[in-house]
Each structure stands twice: as C-alpha cells, then as structure tokens.
Structure 1
Amino acid sequence: MPNKKFRIDEVRSQFPALNFRNKEQVFPIYFDGPGGTQMVQACIDRMLEYIETGMANLHGTFATSIKTDALLEEAKQAVGDLLNCSAEEVAFGQNMTSLAFQVSHSLRPLLKQGDEIVVTQLDHRANVDPWIHLAKETGATVKFIPVDKQSLTHDLSNLDTIINEKTRIVAIGLSSNLTGTISDAKKIFKVAKKVNAITIADAVHAVPHFLVDKQDLESDILFCSVYKFFGPHLGIAAIKKAIFETLEIPKLQPAPNQIPYKLETGTQNHEAIAGLCGAIGFLESLGTGDTRRQRLKAGMEAIESHEQELMDSLEEFLKSIPEVTLYRASSEVIKTPTFAFRIDGIHSREATQFFAEKFNLCIGDGHFYASTMAEVFPVMETGGWIRIGFAPYNTLDEIEIFKTALKELLQRKI
C-alpha cells in the first residue's frame, strides 16, 4: 500500500524536470538519483532570486554585498542544522572531490613515514584517492577495510588489527553509492578514536536518504554534495573546529585565515549557495517540529518511509528474475534505495540504452567510481553494473514501467 503520509503528488509537483517531455512527448523517469537528483523548485527560486535582485562579492558596504554576506551565513547555519554541526565548521567548494583533495593536502604536516591511513573497498574513490595521494606525499601506508563478498558489507573481523596505534586517518563512506549498504561508521570511528585517529566521512550518498548526525558519528571531517539532494553542483566540507583551525591551507596572502573561510579560496558560487538554502528548505518542509533540526529529522523519516516502499517493490522483482544478478546486502542490513545488478548475456550499456530509447528511463551503467568494487567483483568486461537509485519523487508506477521494460529486453534476447 502506498504511504499515505508522504504526499507524493505534492512532492513531484515541486520538480519541474519531471514534467519535461521529449520529442515523442514522453515524460522522463529518473532512476539515477545516486548520480545526481533533479533540482527542486525552491532551489531554483532561491537561485533566480539572488541573480535577479543583484549579485555582488563579499564584505562591501552596499546592499547587494551585504545581502551576499547574509546569504553565506544563512547557508552555513542551514547546513549546520542538517548535519548537526556548528555553522563555523561549514565550508563550501567546487565539489566533494575537490574539497577532499584540498583537505588531504592540508593534513600533510600531521603525518610522517610509517603512519597509516585506513580506507575501504566499498567506497567511491573520492573518499579513497585523496588519502592514497596523501600517503604517497608523506610516506604513510594505506590499509583497506575489505568488503565481505557475501554480505556486501565491510568485513570488520580484523578491525582492531587494521586500526592500530599507527593509524592517523580513517576514511569511511556512510553509504555505498553502488550497493546502498549503510556502513557501521559509528562503530569504526569509535575504534579510530581509541587511537586518536582523524575520522573522515563521505556522506554524499547518505544525506539524500537519512538524517546524518556528524557529532553522534564522531566524524572530524565530513563531506557531501548538494546536487545529490535536489540542489546545484556545490560541495560541502564540515570540519571539527579544533582540527580546522590547525589546517595549513594554501591561500592568497590577504585572504581570511580564520575558519571556515580559509578553506573557501577565491569567490564562491553564491547563486549555488542560495540554491542550497532552497534545497534544505524543501527537506524541512516535509516534516514538522519546533526547530529546523526537528523538521529535517521528520522530513527525512518521511523520505525513508516512502523509499522503503519503492525498495521493497523493486528488490522483490529483481530477485524473481533468473537472468539478473543483484549485488545487494541481505534484509537485516540497512540500505539506501540503490540497486546494482547485471543481466546475463547483456552488456550493461546495451541494457541502459534500450531502457532510455524505448522507455525514457534514466538508468546508469559502469563502475560509478566504486572502481575497487569492480576489481573485487570483476564486472567491467560486460560494462560494469546497471544501477537504479531512487529519490523521493519516484513512484511505484514508475517501477512498474521498469518491470515492463526489463521483461521486454529479456524477451528480445530470446
């Protein structure tokens, strides 16, 4: 039964892209949420408002500059409420990957030869390669928490050996952008804190699906991307104040050296930051409560409930198709609505092209930058995985269209 508390028609009406028809007058069906969501109207409105009422750089005495100063402070406070951190710990940048490399460079003085950095096989490479690069620059050693190939979760059986007195950094993805597995980051970070390691969380695939609590996780550094939760292309770094203040970040001589501004090199994308405020406002509008954090919590719970219905419908179907190999953890493992699978005898690009051309389904294929997983499960000879990832604007009716599409594809193969 559909979730009556989640007003899906009202939610869908707030995404203009859902109503855009192609030349055949067919509405698109966006199943590529992990690669980037569509932009909500509230985000578009805030961006246009900022642009149309006058743009300016910071710290001036005139009205549009004062407006821009206030916008950045508004956005940082909104992110603070979203992630449960202080507004002064929030910095913006081009994207998560760029920010991660920037932070990794700034951590160089804290590491030396013989130190160890821990990453995982399950992660997107944006939370792996910056730390591998840091290890090469400092003489540190990189160790991987392996993936359990049967459970598609982190294999934590040797965690106390992998994380030890030599460990200086532990970087974990909160949720896999490939399998949807939600990691036990809190448990891993607790072990890391026993040896005073810096804990780094990739929350890019987490923030769109469940409420992230940076403080509860004991995450020193957390990254996410606004275009994954209904906003523009913009990266966010939330860095614990005590660590942030010690980072030596390359900057222009007269630029601010206080947090969080010292990480924000050059002029920021102010219109995108305005859009961020609209995107968070949309999430907040889905819930109720006395504070923004409470409203965001209730809103994210509503999203989770709706997406659980979508997950149940698709997972049951995919498991019923003999030609489909599904890469997904068992029912007792909490997951986001993200499905990676392969179809026997069909190249993944061939399948997604068929889905797009015949049914206007937006479905991705490849390794999705979880390339270590593509080595653990050698899949690239047949084009990698096919990935379906839901957003709150997806519906059970859209899943039925996919079911029809997959059956037709398999029939063509015969």
Structure 2
Amino acid sequence: MAYDVMAVRAHFPALEEGAAHFDGPGGSQVPEQVAEAVAGTLRAAVANRGVETAAERRADGIVTEARQAMADLLGGTPAGIVFGRSMTQLTYDMARALAKEWRPGDEIVVSTLDHDANIRPWVQAAGARGVTVRRADFDPETGELDVAAVAGLLTERTRLVAVTAASNLLGSRPDIPAIAERVHAAGALLYVDGVHLTPHSLVDFGQLGADFYACSPYKFLGPHLGVLAADPGLLETVHPDKLLPSSNAVPERFELGTLPYELLAGTTAAVDFMADLVPGIGGTRRERLAASMTALERHEEAMLVRLDAGLAEIDGVTSYGAASRRRTPTTLFSIENVRPADAYRFLAERGVNAPAGHFYALECSRRLGLGDTGAIRAGIAPYTDDSDVDRLLKGVRELAG
C-alpha cells in the first residue's frame, strides 16, 4: 500500500499559503471534504433531533452517523460515544461525575507525562472530596513512563488512574494495555487521554483496556470538538449533573445542550478522509482505516527519522525524549543560547510553523528541566513531506550557526 503524500496534500487548501506545518499537535489543517461537510450542514435545514420534519431527521442522522464514525475510528460502539466542546470539557465533566462516589481516604493516580487536561480536572475533583493524589513520574532521559511507575502507586484505595496514550510534548507512548491490567487488578478505573495518539495510530478500544478514552477531532483533520469513548454499561453507572427535562439515556445524558451538528458532520468527514488516505482499498470503514493508518504510520515514521537524523547533525541542538522506544512522530528540541520563543519567531518568518512552549504539558516540561518556558515542538502530520522537513532543518541550521 503506497502512501502518496502529494495526493494527500492536494486536499488541503491551507497548504496553498506556503507554510511548512509542524503545528499539527496543537491542531491539524483541514481537508476540503471536512470544510464542505461543515458548510453543507450550515446551509441545510436542521433542527433539534426528531422524526417529524426533514430538518429534525437530518439532525438525528448527523448525530447517528458521527457516533458510528467515531466508533469505527476507535474500535468502540456508537452507544458509548459522547460528544462535547473539547477533551478538556469532557474530562472535567467526567471528573466531577465520578468524584461523587469518592470518599476521604480514597486515592487517584495521575502522570507527570500528561497534558494538564488529564491532570488538573482529577486533582481538583480529588481536592474537593478529600481524596489523595499520587503522581507517577516518567524518566526524563528517555521520556518513558514505565508500567512499574504506575503499578507501584496502586493500592486497594485507588479509585482511578489517569494517563496519556501518547505524550503531546514528547510523543512517547506508555504501554496502556499493561497499565490497564494492573489498574483493573487493583479495582480502579483507567481514564486515557488519546488526543495525541489518535491522529497517528489505529486505536482499538477493546485491546487498550481503557475504561474511558478521550480524543479531539481537530487533531486528526477534523473540526474543534471533543469525543469520549466508553462502554455503555459503564456509562450507565455514572450520573452527571444535568437538566431535568434532558434525556437520561446513555450517551445523551452526558451531552449538555444541543449538539453542534455542523461539527459532527465535519467529524464524520474527517474519519472518512482518514479511512481513504490510501484510496482503492475496499472493505468496511474500519478495515479501510486499519490499512490507511498502517500506511500513514510508515510515512510519518520516515519523516520523523529524517527530522531526528537532521537535528542530530546540528551542533547546539538538544532533543528531548528521543530515546523513547515508541513515539508518535513528535520531536521536542532546543537550540543552545536561543530562547524557544525567538526560535519560533525566526522559523515562522521563514514559513516554517514550529511553535515553542510547554503546550499545557506543564508538569512534563518542568520534569524535563525546561520549566514553564518549554522548547520547540515539531509534529509530523499526514500532509508532511520531505521538503517540509528540509525547510525546518535549514532554518534550525541557520539559527544554530
């Protein structure tokens, strides 16, 4: 299965502006099909979901299709797909709902590898209930979060473990199935931040072993939205605060207010686009996703190898977490005697979008010794090609020299 990056790039109008985009971890560019799906929904008649009018039926169909698309992408079930404004909002909502059952003396575990959206909601919910917070630390030399670092903190009082499937700062990928096995053996729940993994690797919700898996379509070529996947039976046991007249059925009980139909249509279009990154495969959408994501991983790995090798040849460049055994195509680096913000500006002036900072992975940045300043992050996306990587390396060489 050949991955034709030039054919993929042709679907992205934003690339016509000429920039080399390494800012995908903060939000990917959008293919024309996604924009058309959003605009088409806004042009059409829609209403609150129902069955009496064409507008009601259209709205209901959009929601149903989006749940199925996300279930296909994540290997889950449509009845367990919850939509929200963002992953952060969904995690805060779930933290507040789950914490209703926590008692003083209970414990939760978070990871210093994580984005703050999978730390702060749990820490704050624990503080409100008198629950102890334990932190699993990653190895700053390798960027790895070992299973033992999490397992060593589990006790009979542990109620929940929150951990990332891939670091948005370093790209390193903890062994989630192994962590899940130990978390469940302790009788606790596992909440996984899949925002940075989902754009780069085929997710199998069942094999991961996560109880909750959260991600963001705008990181995998879709619109700004949040998605939470869980087993419907588990969702039945969770009771969030909601309006009295609103549905108490799962998954609707977790969706506060009217859903953004145009963004759901865009999400379905994004999943369909990902499924057809390698055209002509055939089969179900899940089968096409499996083939396309496999080809995408090979392409992105080749781009990452090219980038890492180039950075290693430049004097004064330090890469972080590059020793990780498994990484998404993400590189964090700094340049000696150059402030990250200045490097960001220098590269941007040359048409290379490689932002700098801690990217809300604040505890991770601090553990790496980068404080609140962070470093430069370059993320590979489905539309990244050799010329993009070469432009970034050229800019870094100029700046380092």
Alignment of 1:157-236 (within 5 A): 157-236=148-227
Percent of aligned pairs sharing the same letter:
35
1:354 aligns with 2:346: yes
Match of 1:374 in 2: 365
Q: 1:289 to 1:172 in 2, by over 3 A?
A: farther
TM-score, length-scaled by structure 2: 0.97
Q: Of residues 298, 307, 311 in structure 1, which corresponds to 2:304?
A: 311
Q: Is the 8 A contact 2:314 2:397 kept in 1?
A: no
Q: Is the 8 A contact 1:121 1:147 kept in 2?
A: yes
1:395 aligns with 2:385: yes
- Structure 1 unmatched ranges of 5 or more: 21-26
Match of 2:315 in 1: 322
1:165 partner amino acid: E
Q: Is the 8 A contact 1:50 1:274 kept in 2?
A: yes
Q: Which runs of 4+ in 1 moved over 4 A?
A: none
Q: Of residues 1, 7, 14 in structure 2, which corresponds to 1:10?
A: 7
Q: 1:75: how far off?
A: 0.6
Match of 1:23 in 2: none
What secondary structure, in the 3-state scheme, does the structure 2 residue paired with 1:107 have?
helix
1:198 partner amino acid: L
**Aligned pair count?**
399
Q: Is the 8 A contact 1:339 1:388 kept in 2?
A: yes
Q: 1:60: how far off?
A: 5.0
Q: 1:328: how far off?
A: 2.2
Q: 1:157 to 1:255 in 2, by over 3 A?
A: closer
What secondary structure, in the 3-state scheme, does the structure 1 residue paired with 2:344 have?
helix
Q: 1:239: how far off?
A: 2.0
Tell me, in whole angstroms, the C-alpha distance in 1 between the residues paired with 2:306 and 2:67.
37
Q: 1:322: how far off?
A: 2.5
Q: 1:89 to 1:157 in 2, by over 3 A?
A: closer
Alignment of 1:14-413 (within 5 A): 14-20=11-17, 27-59=18-50, 61-287=52-278, 288-330=281-323, 333-357=325-349, 359-380=350-371, 383-411=373-401
Q: 1:182 to 1:37 in 2, by over 3 A?
A: same
Tell me, in whole angstroms, the C-alpha distance in 1 between the residues paired with 2:111 and 2:4.
38
Tell me, in whole angstroms, the C-alpha distance in 1 between the residues paired with 2:212 and 2:14.
33
1:355 partner amino acid: L
Q: 1:374: how far off?
A: 2.0
Q: 1:330: how far off?
A: 1.9
Q: Is the 8 A contact 1:104 1:131 kept in 2?
A: yes
Q: 1:289: how far off?
A: 4.2
Tell me, in whole angstroms, the C-alpha distance in 1 between the residues paired with 2:38 and 2:208.
32
Q: Is the 8 A contact 2:191 2:210 kept in 1?
A: yes
Q: 1:270: how far off?
A: 0.8
Deviation per residue, 1:102-142 (Å, 9 max, x gap): 01111023211111111111110111111101211211111
Match of 1:24 in 2: none
Q: 1:152: how far off?
A: 1.1
Q: 1:250: how far off?
A: 1.2
Q: 1:373 to 1:55 in 2, by over 3 A?
A: same
Q: Is the 8 A contact 2:86 2:225 kept in 1?
A: yes
Tell me, in whole angstroms, the C-alpha distance in 2 between the residues paired with 1:290 and 1:403.
40
Tell me, in whole angstroms, the C-alpha distance in 2 between the residues paired with 1:165 and 1:89.
28
Tell me, in whole angstroms, the C-alpha distance in 1 between the residues paired with 2:199 and 2:176.
17
1:170 partner amino acid: V
Tell me, in whole angstroms, the C-alpha distance in 2 between the residues paired with 1:161 and 1:352.
39
Tell me, in whole angstroms, the C-alpha distance in 2 between the residues paired with 1:362 and 1:18.
12
Deviation per residue, 1:192-246 (Å, 9 max, x gap): 0101211111000000000111111111111000100001100001122222111
Q: Is the 8 A contact 1:42 1:281 kept in 2?
A: no
Tell me, in whole angstroms, the C-alpha distance in 2 between the residues paired with 1:370 and 1:399.
24
Tell me, in whole angstroms, the C-alpha distance in 1 between the residues paired with 2:345 and 2:329.
22
Tell me, in whole angstroms, the C-alpha distance in 2 between the residues paired with 1:174 and 1:222.
9
What secondary structure, in the 3-state scheme, does the structure 1 residue paired with 2:64 have?
helix
Q: Is the 8 A contact 2:24 2:381 kept in 1?
A: yes
2:359 partner amino acid: F
Q: 1:158: how far off?
A: 4.6
Q: Is the 8 A contact 1:108 1:138 kept in 2?
A: yes
What secondary structure, in the 3-state scheme, does the structure 1 residue paired with 2:159 have?
strand
Deviation per residue, 1:78-98 (Å, 9 max, x gap): 111111111010011100000
- Structure 2 unmatched ranges of 5 or more: none
Q: Is the 8 A contact 1:57 1:267 kept in 2?
A: yes
1:78 partner amino acid: A
Q: Is the 8 A contact 1:92 1:264 kept in 2?
A: yes
Q: Is the 8 A contact 1:226 1:233 kept in 2?
A: yes
